Chains A and B, each alone.
Chain A
Amino acid sequence: MNEARKDDTILDVKNLQTVFFTNSGLFRAVDDVSFNVRRGETLAIVGESGCGKSVTALSVMRLVPDPPGRVVGGSVTLEGTDLLSLDEAEMRKIRGNRMSMIFQEPMTSLNPVMRIGDQITEVLRLHQEMTSKEAWAKAVEMLRLVRIPEPDRRAQEYPHQLSGGMRQRAMIAMALACRPALLIADEPTTALDVTIQAQILALIVDLQKTLGTGLILITHDLGVVAQTAQRVIVMYAGKKVEEATVEELFANPKHPYTRGLMASMPAVISFGAKTDARLNEIPGMVPSLTNLPPGCAFAPRCSLAIDRCRAEYPPLQEVDGDHFAACWRATELVGAP
């Protein structure tokens, strides 16, 4: 890595490991995951439910519920500060200030008995020296920034008076109020309708460009990834299985799981395709994290699996410039699926 790029890095996660202790056993929700996010860049983390993408985000925020979960290894460095060594009080100064998070469900993420304006004001006054009047003015300005019509009036309203899309906008306004270096968005549009999703995604990308915020976008939707991200991490069963730039990943996916995901999507390209054509499916199901197979976790569902895959976990290797995949047969896979 050259110096210029290093300076640009706002978040550096190395060998992150998070485990959960539950009634049915212990499992590694995040197992040895490393990545970084640069200023103004969007990194997408893709995977299906239970792959560890949300726990990765919570680990970075140091919000993993303990018990049952705990970060047991690795390092998380935000703007040069090692977050895992901070105490809770110091961590609170960073959350909502230097990095913030928006969640899938905008209704439960907002306090139902506080006015929207007050909730944004609260965040501002927590982290910045401001009179309540200044903070309120800033809150209204933030609401205008996220393109909520009549921000003066909306600031006076309660969450239940807003629609789902408006609530998610208010959440974004709150998350960006202190101009954080990093924004983590965990399935921010999954609960929204497709026309509203388009509005919100456009807004997030737009704001991120103007403010220079680093963005981690967690999603299961490859369409959303293609439209918003610069770099992509694919996760499966708690591990990072592939990482590449978005163009490279879609043009030349190297992990059979990534290829399977792309092939199984009824894509817009198939609009107008022959009626009742079958989709390419990935057989079987995601293995239980408490009972992972030895070797590659994807091997039982993989049509390319060889004996080595079932015995030995493949290390993450650079298969091409800036393209990493954890598969013994990655180099044999060329082109789009």
Chain B
Amino acid sequence: MGTSRVTTINFDNELRRAGAHSTHGWRRLLFLAQRYMLGTFGLIIMVLFVWMAISADLICRFSPLSVDSAHRLAPPDALHWMGTDSFGRDVWSRIVHGARISLAVGIGATALGSTLGVIVGLASGYLSGWVDLLFQRVTDILQALPLLVLALVMTAALGPSLPNVIIAIAIPLIPTVARVIRANTLALRELPFVEAAKSIGMSETRIALRHVLPNTLAPLIVLATAQLGSTILTEASLSFLGLGIPEPYPSWGRMLSESAAEYVRTAPWLVIFPGVAISLAVFGTNLFGDALRDILDPRQRG
């Protein structure tokens, strides 16, 4: 064997056509979308809900609050796509407007909880010492209580209103976020680039904000997306238990609680549609969160 066989297999062109080599732009997105089909599906669901929330007034023929006693408990038809409830209010319109509440609470609580969690986690991990010890024990106590029970106690204490519900759901999120950020900060603190920053004479606060914080953003985004689904679920649960958003604003959770016991047999659409809305929203964020974790995980990078 003097010379070697020249290779004939050529996958490169195939993959280049599929966009695998593009590092940015639409082709890259398209490639990722094909690779993470379920995640893309989740993203589509999320985008749909957001679009529903934004253009709620355009896509509904009825106000979610207008009572029509002539059409009480009407089954789904061409006029009322998802039927009406016991007051004659249009269920489709209430679901669409309910998306606003769900998303407002979901995004609001996640943002608030994450921000506070980041501050606590960063301070705890970077300062260590007694600050860390104090934060750690408080987090332990918070985490010992179930999220829902904690939120219940909080709303009961603060009174049901949109901001109060957001706060009540956000606070139990703090320990979860703080833990992740703290663990990340502890790991980052030991890295040479932080030591290099010290050796050029940078102050500790500046190191924490400039070098440590930006490097905890990827796990934070993943965590926040995952939390979004659970906050939506918590809001629904709170409303179901009568401690969520007060009447007359439409909330998926309360729509369920109002109708579940009485009408589940006679008017099942009152139970099915809000239930499906909640499940879809949570399902969508979870799928997207999983894909995001896979994409942002540096170990997956080729």
Chain A–chain B contact at Cβ < 8 A: yes
List A residues at the B interface (Cβ < 8 Å): 15, 17, 19-26, 28, 31-32, 34, 68, 72-73, 240, 290-291, 313, 315-318, 326
**Contact between A316 and B3, CB atoms less than 8 A apart:** yes
Which of B2, B4, B9, B15 has the most chain A CB within a 10 Å cutoff? Answer: B4
Residues of chain A contacted by B35 (CB below 8 angstroms): 23
Check A73/B9 contact, CB under 8 A, given A23-B302, A24-B20, A24-B23. Answer: yes
Pairs A-B, 4 closest by C-beta atoms: A22-B302, A315-B3, A24-B302, A23-B302
Most chain B CB inside 10 Å of its own CB: which residue of A20, A25, A34: A25
Interface residues of B in 6-60 (CB under 8 A from A): 6-7, 9, 11-12, 15-16, 20-21, 23, 35
Instruction: Tell me whether A26 and B15 are in contact (CB under 8 A).
Output: yes
Q: A17-B7, A31-B7, A73-B9 are in contact. Are A25 and B2 (CB under 8 A)?
A: no
Contact of B1 among A22, A25, A34 (CB under 8 A): A34
With A24-B21, A25-B15, A26-B20 as known contacts, state yes or no: A32 contacts B301, CB within 8 Å. no
The B50-100 residues at the A interface (CB cut-off 8 A) are: none
12 intermolecular pairs with C-beta atoms under 8 Å apart:
A15-B5, A19-B9, A19-B11, A21-B15, A24-B301, A31-B7, A32-B5, A32-B6, A240-B4, A290-B302, A315-B6, A326-B4
Q: Is the interface of A mostly helix, strand, loop or mixed?
A: strand
The number of chain B residues touching the other chain, given as a range, is 10 to 19
Closest to B301 in A: A23
> A72: which B residues are within 8 A, CB to CB?
9
Q: Is there an interface contact between B5 and A25, defined as CB atoms closer than 8 Å?
A: no
Which of B7, B12, B20 is the one whose CB lies under 8 Å from A23?
A: B20
Question: Is there contact, CB below 8 Å, between B20 and A25?
Answer: yes
**In the complex, what distance in Å separates the CA atom of A20 from the CA atom of B16?**
14
- CA gap between A153 and B300 in the complex, in Å: 42
**Contact, CB under 8 Å: B2 / A317:** yes
Q: What residues of A have a CB within 8 angstroms of the CB of B300 in the complex?
A: 23
Report which of B4, B11, B20, B301 forms a contact with A316, defined as CB distance below 8 A: B4
Query: Closest residue of chain B to A326, judged by CB?
Result: B4
CA A25 to CA B9, docked complex, whole Å = 15
Q: Which residues of A contact B23 (CB under 8 A)?
A: 24
User: Chain B residues near A26 (CB, 8 Å)?
Assistant: 11-12, 15, 20
CA distance A206 to B59 in the complex (A): 82
- Using known A-B contacts A23-B302, A25-B302, A26-B20, determine if residue A32 contacts B4 with beta carbons closer than 8 Å: yes
